[in-house]
Structure 1
Amino acid sequence: MANWDEGRLRHYGHFYGLEDLPEGDLLLVWGNCQAESYRRLLGGEPGTAMLGDSGLNTVRVPPAFEIQPDEVEHLERLLTRTRALVTQPIPHDYRGMPIGTEQLIAQLPEDAPVVRIPVVYDTSRFPWQVTLRNWKFAPGAAERPGEDPPVVPYHDLRVLAEAATGQRREVAPEALRAAAAASVQALRAREEAKRTVGMADIVAAERGTGFYTVNHPTNVVLTRVAERTAEQFPFEVQVQPVPETRVLLGGVRAPLHASVVEALDLEAEPTEDWSVGGELIPDEQMRQTHLEWYAQNPLAVEVGMRKYADQLRLLGLAG
């Protein structure tokens, strides 16, 4: 078993066999960072019966990107009890393990309902926010696995372009609107390509805060997606409310700039600081920290400018 701390092992106690599985069959929710939020909304507290007439239970499962080879057996143990699956698109032989979406489906009973849901990723609020992991476009990528900048695992294309050109530029309102439309269209295209339940219209209709980062929706969006997911089953599934004080994916919150609120006509209050684990970090401090990191990691600048050339042009940050 991977060398995880005791707190994490207890958090996933059912998965690791530290707690007995509940009686009866399971609904398994499989995916990456959003999956546990959907499990909570569909199944409530781990190990308890789901609301509705399904007769199923849910348990916490680590996100796919954290699974280690010696943990696959724990996942397979759950699959022997799984009678319904909610899954994000996970590639075949993901990270060298047989844990892709289709590989899990192959282990289920033929009549087990499967609901495919997309990764809800939207850049409307943060059109300059990207990830640059695995150095896929860089020489020596195999020898240099992914690196994130300091503090948060996100790059800001405005800061990246500043590091590359020495110029600091703002993004025009028309570019913000064009980027928002392109983001929703990209989500819709991914849904069609992966044959998932459609969520792009939910994202497009959201006029509130909507997202804390590009891949961390607010409770409001997560709940609406969970409700649509629940509708896909041949049995009744009731989405379970989350206390207002519990934010499912709010550990990292990027500033929602006033320029975005105004350009997109959002019904949300702008924010000026990052929030990371409850600590407020001024946006200017984050910018300076990342500029210093780029100066020490010029390869990241080169790779980022190449990989995100289209988005940089759309935002007026290229050249």
Structure 2
Amino acid sequence: MQRGGWDDDDTDGYVLIMGGEHTRDGSLADHDDAVIARRAHYAVFFGDVPPPAGYGVVVGNCQAESLRLVISSDALPAVRVPAVHELTSADAERLHRLLAGAAFLVAQPIRDDYRGMPLGTAQLRRSLPAAARTVTVPAVRFAGLHPFQAVLRLADFPEDPPLVAYHDVRTVARAAGLAVPASLPPAAVRAIAEASRAELRRREGLGLDVSASDLLEPVVADLARTVNHPGNALFLPLGARIVAALGAPGRVVDPGRPILASVRAPLEDWVVDAWRLDTAPRPDWTVGGETVPADVVREAHLAYYAERPALLAAVVDRMTPLIRTWSTAR
């Protein structure tokens, strides 16, 4: 099961926590078969396979690999590297060695000394050759298709909810004895979507090279799988902008399959109606290709909150603006 969540405690690090098999000191458990598979998956990164000529690197959260998929071509080869939150100190050294020979870097904003390692965007840039190009891109979160959903990182409560690592405002409210409706009117759905765009515009205004906020409209079903997992409808045009910003002869590449799609949240009928989407509602979750009924997730989360009243209080505190939006929607 994936762990998912914005690392909000890192202020300006837009980094998604997506787990891995780690020991308590943060290193990968060397006895696990997953380590062998990981090394094969990132063969160039580990130095087992030489990198292609003119290679570049895309660094960031789980969205970074999706961006690599859509910009990488023979003309603009991009090397697969682990997501930044999965890197150990040894991995950080490998990344800097790889960057020393790279022709370009595409990076999401990451603060200096992220997790005690030199993984900040500015620190990575300093390892590049003088002639290398750098393009900074936003990490995208969009709530327009899932206006009930939040993904949180709580410093005092590192454990994720069961089954799916997302909080549903209706479930949270029920657990806390608060009243919210089961759905929202179209105007409220659109307002939540615009709030997502406004926050992304704010982040872009901090000096990023490529913007994505305008790509969040018109709203289509393939725009997002969850609140923090965009779909192909976002990645393809954003990838085209990155290629253009690099000034390289490459082109955007359609992988021919849904990307970042291992977890799909429900697409509820009232959301479909609000956006007049040409698609059928999906009432349940899909996780790793398997259907997980929404009511099963709901009951598991209610039990989870009931056993952890302090965590529930922290979740309610962080979700207060969304709870207020839902409780006052007309």
Match of 1:208?
A: 221
> d(CA) in 2 for partners of 1:202 and 1:267?
18
Other-structure match for 1:286: 297
Q: 2:50 matched to 1:20?
A: yes
Give the C-alpha shift of residue 208 in structure 1.
Answer: 3.2
Identity across the alignment (%): 37
Matches within 5 A, 1:83-232: 83-133=103-153, 135-136=154-155, 141=156, 146-165=158-177, 167=179, 169-173=181-185, 174-232=187-245
Q: Using the alignment, how far apart are the partners of 1:172 and 1:220 within structure 2?
A: 24
Equivalences for 1:58-77 in 2 at 5 Å? Answer: 58-77=78-97
Shift of residue 291, structure 1, vs aligned partner: 0.4
2:71 pairs, out of 42, 67, 71, with 42
Letter in 2 for 1:42: I
SS at match of 1:28: strand
Amino acid at match of 2:265: A
User: Deviations for 1:199-218, whole angstroms, at most 9, x for unmatched residues?
Assistant: 11111223333111111111
* 2:28 counterpart letter in structure 1: A
Distance 1:223 1:179 in 2: 24
Is there any run of 5+ residues in structure 1 with no aligned partner, and where?
Answer: 45-49
1:33 aligned to 2:62?
Answer: yes
Partner secondary structure for residue 5 of structure 1: helix
Moved segments of 4+, more than 3 Å? none
**Distance 1:33-1:64 versus aligned 2 partners, 3 A rule:** same
Q: Is the Cα contact below 8 Å between 2:180 and 2:327 reproduced in 1?
A: no
How far apart are 1:80 and its partner, in Å? 1.2
For 1:220 and 1:209, the matched residues in 2 are separated by 5
Q: CA deviation at 1:97?
A: 0.4
Maintained 8 Å contact 1:212/1:250: yes
Aligned partner of 1:292: which letter? A
What 5-or-longer segments of structure 2 have no aligned partner?
1-26
CA–CA distance in structure 1, aligned partners of residues 170 and 178 of structure 2: 11
Amino acid at match of 1:116: T
Aligned counterparts of 1:97 and 1:194: Cα–Cα separation in 2: 23
The RMSD of aligned alpha carbons is 1.8
Q: Are the counterparts in 1 of residues 45 and 95 from structure 2 also a CA contact under 8 Å?
A: yes
What one-letter code is carried by the residue in structure 2 that aligns with 1:34?
A: Q
Cα distance in 1 for residues equivalent to 2:258 and 2:121? 27
3-state SS in 2 of match to 1:242 = coil
Change (3 A) 1:180 1:66: same
Question: Do 2:180 and 2:323's aligned partners in 1 also have CA atoms closer than 8 Å?
Answer: no
Query: 2: CA distance between counterparts of 1:132 and 1:220?
Result: 25
Q: TM-score, normalised by structure 1?
A: 0.88
Q: Do residues 6 (structure 1) and 36 (structure 2) align? A: yes
- Aligned mates of 1:7, 1:237 — CA distance in 2: 30
C-alpha distance in 2 between matches for 1:158 and 1:196: 37
Q: Secondary structure at the match of 2:214?
A: helix
2:267 matches 1:238: no
The aligned counterpart of 2:265 is 254
Cα distance, 1:124–1:193 mapped onto 2, change above 3 Å = same
CA distance in 2, matches of 1:160, 1:121: 20
Aligned length: 298
- CA shift at 1:300, angstroms? 1.8
